[in-house]
């Protein structure tokens, strides 16, 4: 299994102290006191998985994850089913573990099986309610590394199911720092599905197009394989470590021709959506907001129904946040259309339905609808329609009277 040979040499690596952002809270999680190899030995004996928390001193993201998620009583209770180990990158032993496991962002939570083999990971911040669900999934062995490998042996080769499992397995390898295995799997998918005629085949080709855009001249780059993690420190001077960017060119020098070529040759609606959505994001990252908006406008024609309710709001808000001289009346109307779509879909959801529960998770329906209405109000304001902006903000406040929404309503009224 993955990285087993590396684990044989961990006997000299001692445990980092338990995080102590709040001293009284550190006792809520039973952090293992000793080196990782002994923690693995205990996990093997007790037939438990290991939870390894990678963090560093002075990181606001690490503090946020620790305070708002890890030490919550219900989370700490669920972590009792794991052997919990703290790896502080700010210490020599912790830094060695970061390098050994290929950790690229902090915080990262790594899960090992009782033999010390990596099974899953979560990078960046995650709310405690969602983390409890992830702990349950990982404990069940669902969509973990070994689960995906086992499922692959049971499907017919070179079918849509096969490509889907292989693509998900590639993603798991990337999460766990095995970039070469990730890349090799995607190469095999592209060779088996050269036209991208299946969803995962198309994604494998999209990844290659993204890589071509960001790959440096010598070709030695992660390219499009790098994932951005919310609420995490990536490899920079502040983080104190490098994620192997390989001198990739900056966004200002990107040539997006490979992405446009890929988007134009895709036939599946879902593949077209993902390609044009990627173009919208890449154009925004290089500061071309006009082109970015056009990419999102094309993507909107193909957005899958299950993604539309949140994607439309997210893109509307993103464009409004980038407001500048580049915006045209067409762009502003597009934002309003997106916000209306999101608000209408949210209002039509049956709070008791499985669909609603799947979309909202632990969020209250009234709060969910309120923030869609608030975005719609902002979109009207973006279009210079102040009365409608106030109208929908008032509806949002009536559903979810938060300080944030009240303050925004006061600002909008003050502008009339």
Q: Is the confidence at residue 94, as pLDDT, over 60? A: yes
Q: Look at residue 35 in the predicted model and tell me its pLDDT.
A: 94
DSSP of 331-365: HHHHHHHHHHHHHHHHHH--TTSHHHHHHHTTS-H
Strands 108-112 and 118-123: antiparallel
Any residues with CB less than 8 A from the CB of 60 and at least 6 apart, and which?
Answer: none
CA 46, CA 108: separation in Å to the nearest integer? 24
Cα 103 to Cα 96, 128, 142, 242, 353, distances in angstroms: 10, 22, 22, 10, 39
Q: Which of 92-106, 149-163, 321-335 has the highest mean pLDDT?
A: 149-163
Say if CB 106 and CB 89 are below 8 A apart. Answer: yes
Q: Is the confidence at residue 240, as pLDDT, over 50? A: no
How many Cα atoms sit within 13 Å of 321 on the Cβ side? 8
Q: Look at residue 2 in the predicted model and tell me its pLDDT.
A: 38
CA 400, CA 377: separation in Å to the nearest integer? 14
Q: Look at residue 217 in the predicted model and tell me its pLDDT.
A: 60
Phi, psi for 376 (deg, rounded to 5): -65, -40
Q: Is the confidence at residue 236, as pLDDT, over 50? A: no
Look at 249 and 50; give whichever has higher pLDDT: 50
Domains of the chain: residue spans and CATH? 4-141 (3.40.30.10), 305-416 (1.25.40.10)
Q: Look at residue 134 in the predicted model and tell me its pLDDT.
A: 96
Q: Look at residue 356 in the predicted model and tell me its pLDDT.
A: 85
CA 372, CA 137: separation in Å to the nearest integer? 30
Model confidence pLDDT, tens digit, residues 285-318:
999 999 999 999 999 999 999 999 999 999 999 9
Residues 42-53 have a mean pLDDT of 97
CA 85, CA 381: separation in Å to the nearest integer? 50
Q: Is the confidence at residue 101, as pLDDT, over 90? A: yes
Give the number of other Cβ atoms within 10 Å of residue 99's Cβ: 12
Look at 15 and 181; give whichever has higher pLDDT: 181
For the chain, first and last CA: distance in Å?
64
Model confidence pLDDT, tens digit, residues 359-395:
887 788 999 999 999 999 999 999 999 999 999 999 9
CA 323, CA 333: separation in Å to the nearest integer? 13
Q: Is the confidence at residue 23, as pLDDT, over 50? A: no
């Amino acid at each position: 299994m993955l990285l087993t040979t590396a684990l044989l040499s961990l006997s000299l690596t001692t445990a980092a102290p338990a995080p102590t952002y709040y001293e009284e809270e550190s006792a809520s999680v039973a952090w293992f006191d000793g080196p990782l190899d002994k923690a693995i030995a205990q996990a093997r004996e007790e037939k438990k998985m290991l939870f390894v928390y990678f963090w560093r001193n002075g990181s606001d993201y690490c503090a946020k994850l620790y305070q708002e998620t890890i030490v919550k009583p219900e989370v700490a209770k669920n972590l009792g089913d794991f052997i919990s180990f703290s790896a502080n990158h700010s210490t020599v032993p912790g830094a060695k573990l970061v390098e050994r496991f290929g950790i690229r962002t902090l915080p990262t939570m790594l899960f090992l099986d009782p033999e010390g083999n990596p099974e899953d990971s979560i990078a960046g911040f995650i709310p405690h309610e969602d983390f409890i669900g992830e702990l349950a999934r990982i404990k069940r062995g669902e969509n973990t590394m070994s689960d995906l490998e086992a499922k692959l042996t049971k499907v017919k080769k070179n079918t849509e199911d096969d490509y889907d499992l292989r693509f998900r397995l590639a993603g798991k390898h990337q999460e766990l720092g095995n970039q070469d295995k990730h890349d090799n799997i995607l190469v095999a998918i592209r060779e088996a599905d050269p036209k991208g005629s299946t969803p995962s085949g198309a994604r494998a080709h999209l990844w290659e197009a993204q890589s071509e855009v960001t790959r440096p001249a010598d070709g030695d780059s992660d390219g499009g394989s790098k994932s951005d993690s919310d609420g995490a420190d990536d490899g920079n001077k502040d983080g104190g470590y490098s994620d192997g960017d390989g001198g990739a060119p900056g966004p200002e020098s990107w040539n997006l021709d490979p992405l446009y070529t890929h988007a134009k040759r895709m036939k599946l609606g879902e593949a077209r959506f993902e390609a044009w959505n990627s173009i919208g994001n890449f154009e925004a990252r290089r500061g071309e907001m006009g082109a970015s908006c056009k990419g999102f406008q094309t993507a909107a024609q193909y957005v899958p129904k299950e993604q539309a309710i949140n994607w439309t709001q997210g893109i509307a808000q993103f464009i409004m946040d980038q407001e500048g001289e580049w915006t045209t009346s067409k762009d502003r109307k597009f934002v309003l259309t997106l916000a209306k779509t999101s608000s209408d879909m949210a209002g039509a959801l049956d709070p008791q339905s499985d669909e609603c529960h799947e979309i909202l998770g632990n969020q209250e329906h009234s709060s969910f609808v309120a923030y869609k209405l608030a975005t719609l109000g902002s979109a009207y304001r973006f279009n210079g329609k102040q009365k409608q902006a106030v109208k929908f903000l008032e509806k949002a406040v009536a559903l979810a009277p938060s300080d944030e929404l009240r303050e925004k309503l006061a600002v909008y009224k003050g502008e009339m």
